[in-house]
Structures are given as structure tokens and as C-alpha cells.
Homo-oligomer: A and B are copies of this chain.
């Protein structure tokens, strides 16, 4: 199979690359050369190293590489907008390859931004052209996105993933939480409590530490309760997004499981899509746009 373009998911902490033949990945590579660790003049050499041995074909990149602190600032397109990717070109074809970066999307009121998720949404619509409903993209900053008639209508972001990471790794709770997924029963109870009485979940946070000290709370139960509490707050706030809607969850498997489970507990049977499949389909849609330039 001939490699005719390169797909790049270039986030804050990682760089993932695929040598592509049309819509098919031929070879995948990944590294920790995320944009967060690179100065402006280090992007071109990092890309050259990471794509060594691959032909001089166009590179289509999405993610934080297009932020102000990234390689080139790819402006935000305002909603409502077509889900079709917009591209900006890096001047001078670095490393002999045309490089295009996908633009992010912004919403002015209430203020919100996305960068990277717009590519997964383009992928969702490439794979399911008639999709009409809500895409839920759990991650560091989880997004709920309303999609209709091929357009991104509006969206909202929650810091759930980042708050979970900070509390579980850096707060006093780090001593009390186990690794892995957390106990599912504890997750569901905390989810339900946080949705019906958000303020009770807030009092329950330090309680995890106290129960661990006083009665040896199971670390897996503690982890389930913390993630149930945070996702419960998010679902309570996102109720207008998922209630009575068709929802597709696009994310890493373990995290997407939690959201699908939480939505099922509200009577919402969410569909699933692999984040990698969505990203690759979205970058392929962006590549078709590039070919039309």
C-alpha cells in the first residue's frame, strides 16, 4: 500500500502519527513530543524525527499544535459552523512536506473553545453522515457537542478529567485512592448522590480521606466514589444536553465506559465510537479538504 499522506494527532503531552494510504493507516507511531514541551523552532525537527523513513507526503495535524503556544496559531471558527475541517498551512513546507493544521472551534456565549475534538466530530460525521444528536467527548476537558444537519450548533466543556487527575494524584486524597478503574457500585451510588444533591458530594470529598484513616476504606471504592461524584456533577450540569437526546460517547475505552454506564443509569442508551477511529476519519476528511485546495 502506498503511503500518500500522514495523519498527526499532536496534543499537549503526546504526538501520535499514522502513515496513511487513503483512509487506511499503514503504520502507527507515537512519542512524548507533545506541543507542551516544544519551543516554536523544535516542532519541525520533532516531526522530521518522528516521521523518519516515511515518504515526503502531506501532513495533516490536529490538536494543541495549532494553539497560540503551538507551532502555528490555527484560528478558532465560530459556532454554528459546518463540521467539515478548516485548515491553515505552515509556510515553507517544513522537511519538504506540506503541513496543514486543523482549526479549533469557539463559542462566544457562553464562552467556550475546542481544539482537537472538532476533528473527532468531523470523523463522527464522516463515519455516520446522518448523525443528529449529542457527541460526548470525555477527556481532560470533557465536551458535550450538539450536532445537527452536518453542523456543530453549540457545546459546553467541563474540567472533570483534569480535576480528577489533580485530586487523585496531588491532593490529600492521593493516599486513599487505588489505581485502575474504581469500584463500579461505589461509582454508581456516588453518581446518583452527586446528581440529586450536588452539595452533598462536595462534603463527601474529604470524607474519603477520613474514612480511609478511620475505617480503612477500600481504595477502589474511594476511587469509584471520587469519579462518580465528579461525573455526577457533570451530568447534572449537562442534563439539557443528554436528556431525551441521541448520544454518542467518543473517548478512550475505560473513560468512555464510565460515561456510557453513567448515562445508562439515567435511562440514556449511549452509542460508542473509538476516539482513534474518529480522529483518523476526521483527519482523512481534512486531507480531502487539502486535496481540494
Contacts and interface: CB of A to CB of B under 8 A. Distances in A.
Interface residues of A, number: 42
Contact of A237 (B170, B200, B217): B200
A111 interface: yes
A210 interface: yes
Contacts of A200: 237
A172 B159 CA distance: 9
B112 A158 contact: no
Interface in A238-291: 238-239
A157 interface: yes
A272 to B, nearest CB: 24
A-side interface mostly: helix
Interface in A146-173: 156-159, 162-163, 166-167, 170-173
B170 A170 contact: yes
Count of chain copies: 2
A112 B172 CA distance: 13
A206 B239 CA distance: 17
A173 to B, nearest CB: 8
Nearest to A209: B113
Given A157-B206, A203-B238, 14 more contacts: A110-B207, A111-B215, A112-B206, A141-B206, A159-B171, A159-B173, A162-B171, A163-B163, A163-B171, A163-B205, A198-B198, A198-B202, A198-B233, A199-B239
A32 interface: no
Contacts of A76: 214
A108 interface: yes
Given A211-B111, A214-B108, A214-B111, A158 B205 contact: yes
A72 interface: no
Given A199-B237, A202-B233, A237-B202, A112 B159 contact: no
A86 interface: no
- Which of A167, A173, A213 has the most B CB atoms < 10 Å from its CB? A213
